[in-house]
Copies of this chain bind each other. A is one copy, B any other.
């Protein structure tokens, strides 16, 4: 059977993730890896989850926990999330929230909901690789998102129309973004809302790392700023995508969207058609753990990850040769390095792995056009301070030799 002959045209843009292929190389003794962007498994609240599953599976509630449930998501969990959102300035009810299979599914469904082939998606250069993966299936054109007012909405719109579509959304992670670790300031967020108004498009706010702020001034979510302007979430064009994957656990696959009700209603239709609903028992379990342990657990993560970030920034400062620049993230899991233009980070990756047993992710995969060859992403989430220091020492040596 020649399956290629029956595949839809959209599959031509769905390629194997280069990063995933790279990660397969990383099962080596003594390797120090700054590559994977995942939480440190040793800090998962395993005991609390154990107790939560036991409680969900008692005789009284097991019939509910193991049964089909509504596509919107488990109501007590949506209520808890609505309260959490309110703390961030996003006044809403559970009817503004739908539970997704991680924020990755929110991105997939939003692409499916919004993008006809040839429509334009505004994204950062670089951007989250998983967003490119999700959106690619719906055959968009990408254009560069700027939040500094450098380009007029009219120009952006005209460029989209010239390609036969229109601007459907601006996608960004505004807090400690994957891969750069950078945060969009309040002014940038306000500019973005202005631009979206002019473009009559929606804003997809990927807030996967938002809870992981270690220092610096708190900036309200874009959705909160829009509600501040307009008085109600029902007037807003921003779709907030949240996730428990970077806080409580990615293994349950639970995220959420928060938006105006007509948008949520359409998402519920996509969820029904897509996979009916998120695992009932998982929603019940995470609801219990979130209600009782979210804040204390996130505090623990702040302490652990901020020490690791500090260790990485200090080691870079001490050891990295001149001519290399990097971001100073106020949260999240990533530092982004820019090497001198003549250094190809993919080539450097091979050398680093072979000669120094240290790994990172070459940056070009995060660019929709494959540019950014002299960039790399370092994650500090999964190594202790001492290991980070040794890893940066190894990496600095490799960079020095490539200069």
Near B by CB (< 8 A), chain A positions 118-174 give 119, 130, 133-134, 136-138, 168-169
| Measured CA separation A235–B20 after assembly (Å) | 28
Tell me whether A253 is interfacial, beta carbon within 8 Å.
Answer: yes
Tell me whether A64 is interfacial, beta carbon within 8 Å.
Answer: yes
Is the pair A237, B14 in contact by a Cβ cutoff of 8 Å? no
| Measured CA separation A62–B202 after assembly (Å) | 39
Tell me whether A262 is interfacial, beta carbon within 8 Å.
Answer: yes
| Measured CA separation A279–B65 after assembly (Å) | 15
Tell me whether A15 is interfacial, beta carbon within 8 Å.
Answer: yes
Tell me whether A273 is interfacial, beta carbon within 8 Å.
Answer: yes
Tell me whether A66 is interfacial, beta carbon within 8 Å.
Answer: yes
Residues of B within 8 A of A1 (CB): 202, 235-237, 260
Residues of B within 8 A of A250 (CB): 66-68
Residues of B within 8 A of A69 (CB): 251
Residues of B within 8 A of A25 (CB): none
Q: Point out the residue from B44, B53, B112, B201 that lies within 8 Å of A6, measured CB to CB.
A: B201
Is the pair A102, B41 in contact by a Cβ cutoff of 8 Å? no
Q: Point out the residue from B17, B67, B202 that lies within 8 Å of A251, measured CB to CB.
A: B67
Is the pair B11, A266 in contact by a Cβ cutoff of 8 Å? yes
Tell me whether A200 is interfacial, beta carbon within 8 Å.
Answer: yes
Q: Shortest Cβ distance from A166 into chain B, in angstroms?
A: 8
Q: Point out the residue from B108, B168, B236, B274 that lies within 8 Å of A104, measured CB to CB.
A: B274
Tell me whether A9 is interfacial, beta carbon within 8 Å.
Answer: yes
Please give the count of copies of this chain that the complex contains: 2
| Measured CA separation A207–B6 after assembly (Å) | 22
Tell me whether A80 is interfacial, beta carbon within 8 Å.
Answer: no
Tell me whether A270 is interfacial, beta carbon within 8 Å.
Answer: yes
With CB as the reference atom, state the residue of chain B lying closest to A11: B113
Is the pair A260, B3 in contact by a Cβ cutoff of 8 Å? yes
Is the pair B253, A277 in contact by a Cβ cutoff of 8 Å? yes
Given the contacts A137-B270, A274-B105, A249 and B10 also touching, CB distance less than 8 Å: no
With CB as the reference atom, state the residue of chain B lying closest to A236: B1
Q: Shortest Cβ distance from A169 into chain B, in angstroms?
A: 7
Is the pair B253, A116 in contact by a Cβ cutoff of 8 Å? no
Tell me whether A319 is interfacial, beta carbon within 8 Å.
Answer: no
Is the pair B66, A266 in contact by a Cβ cutoff of 8 Å? no
Q: Shortest Cβ distance from A157 into chain B, in angstroms?
A: 13
Is the pair B68, A46 in contact by a Cβ cutoff of 8 Å? no
With CB as the reference atom, state the residue of chain B lying closest to A2: B200
Is the pair B41, A263 in contact by a Cβ cutoff of 8 Å? no
Q: Shortest Cβ distance from A298 into chain B, in angstroms?
A: 15
Is the pair A278, B253 in contact by a Cβ cutoff of 8 Å? yes
Q: Point out the residue from B63, B138, B245, B252 that lies within 8 Å of A8, measured CB to CB.
A: B138
Q: Shortest Cβ distance from A386 into chain B, in angstroms?
A: 21
| Measured CA separation A100–B105 after assembly (Å) | 13
A46-B63, A100-B275 are known contacts; what are 12 more A-B pairs with Cβ within 8 Å? A1-B235, A1-B236, A8-B138, A11-B266, A14-B273, A16-B269, A41-B63, A47-B57, A49-B66, A68-B245, A251-B281, A253-B276
13 A-B residue pairings within 8 Å (CB atoms): A1-B236, A3-B260, A3-B262, A11-B113, A15-B269, A39-B67, A49-B281, A66-B250, A105-B274, A112-B137, A134-B273, A253-B277, A279-B282
Interface residues of A (CB under 8 A from B): 1-3, 5-11, 14-17, 20, 38-39, 41-42, 44, 46-47, 49-50, 53-54, 57-59, 62-69, 100-102, 104-105, 108, 112-116, 119, 130, 133-134, 136-138, 168-169, 200-202, 235-237, 245, 249-253, 260, 262-263, 266, 269-270, 272-282
